[in-house]
């Protein structure tokens, strides 16, 4: 019961790593609050999590919706102990693809802007909304989802990598700015993890991911959730401003 009674907010908590994290925190006694754009999946999730959980439908891009979410949580629970900024999307494409001298395909502006808005600005919006409450209560933990590709790079992911590298930078800035208020800020960088998105990929691509991972397998969402749980717990009380890789030893590009 390492997070017993801690009010824990998880964006994108209705599926994948977010849902696994919600389940893991609930197992350890937290009061879990899921935020997601998927109403049906969110309601199904809290049925699995039990009576101490709740679901709010909102979009991390919308600052008013985010602010209303935080105020709703504070009205119900009176505090926020942990924020897990997990919500994120992929819109992969090459920067530019040429055939001879002709550009035949490239990442579109809309693909770039959408990923930036959700994966990067969404993290900013949620953290800025929750920080005043944590400052007033004199404690808190903020955990941000980055990725190994934000550290190593990866072909076809200019937009995604820009967000995940940016999240690492914001994590380090916020650790410095908020540490004086006893607020810890860390990031988790998963490697190839067996979520719904990966399961839909062709088998040869999945096999390539396994081969490139020194442990010889994909990660499980629960293994990433365990990292969030550790960083939220008092066992990590002197850890802030760090990025914890949970990646099976992979270095992208090797």
Active site residues: 160
Distance of alpha carbon 63 from alpha carbon 144, whole angstroms: 18
Asked if 161 contacts 153 with a C-beta cutoff of 8 angstroms, the reply is: yes
The number of CA neighbours under 13 Å toward the Cβ of 225 is: 22
* 3-state SS assignment for residue 219: strand
Which parts of the chain are beta strand (E)? Answer: 7-11, 31-36, 54-57, 82-85, 96-99, 102-106, 140-145, 183-190, 243-246
Output the CA–CA distances (angstroms, integers) from residue 124 to 83, 116, 148, 152, in the order listed: 12, 11, 20, 23
């Amino acid at each position: 019961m390492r997070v017993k009674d801690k009010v824990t907010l998880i964006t994108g908590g209705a599926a994948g790593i977010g849902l696994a994290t919600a389940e893991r925190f609930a197992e350890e006694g937290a009061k879990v609050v899921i935020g997601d754009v998927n109403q049906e999946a969110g309601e199904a999730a809290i049925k699995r999590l039990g009576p101490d959980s709740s679901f709010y439908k909102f979009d991390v891009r919308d600052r008013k919706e985010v602010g209303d979410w935080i105020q709703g949580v504070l009205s119900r629970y009176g505090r926020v102990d942990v924020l897990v900024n997990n919500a994120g999307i992929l819109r992969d494409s090459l920067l530019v693809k040429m055939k001879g001298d002709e550009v035949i395909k490239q990442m579109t502006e809309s693909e770039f802007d959408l990923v930036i808005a959700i994966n990067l600005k969404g993290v900013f919006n949620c953290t800025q909304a929750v920080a005043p409450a944590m400052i007033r209560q004199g404690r808190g933990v903020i955990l941000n989802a980055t990725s190994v590709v934000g550290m190593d790079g990866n072909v076809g992911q200019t937009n995604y990598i820009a967000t995940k590298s940016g999240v690492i930078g914001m994590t380090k800035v916020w650790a410095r700015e908020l540490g004086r208020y006893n607020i810890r800020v860390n990031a988790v960088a998963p490697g190839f993890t067996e979520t719904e998105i990966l399961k839909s990929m062709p088998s040869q691509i999945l096999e390539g991911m396994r081969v490139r991972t020194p442990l010889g397998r994909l990660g499980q969402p629960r293994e990433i959730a365990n990292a969030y749980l550790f960083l939220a717990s008092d066992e990590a009380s002197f850890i802030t401003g760090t990025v914890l890789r949970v990646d099976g030893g992979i270095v992208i590009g090797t």
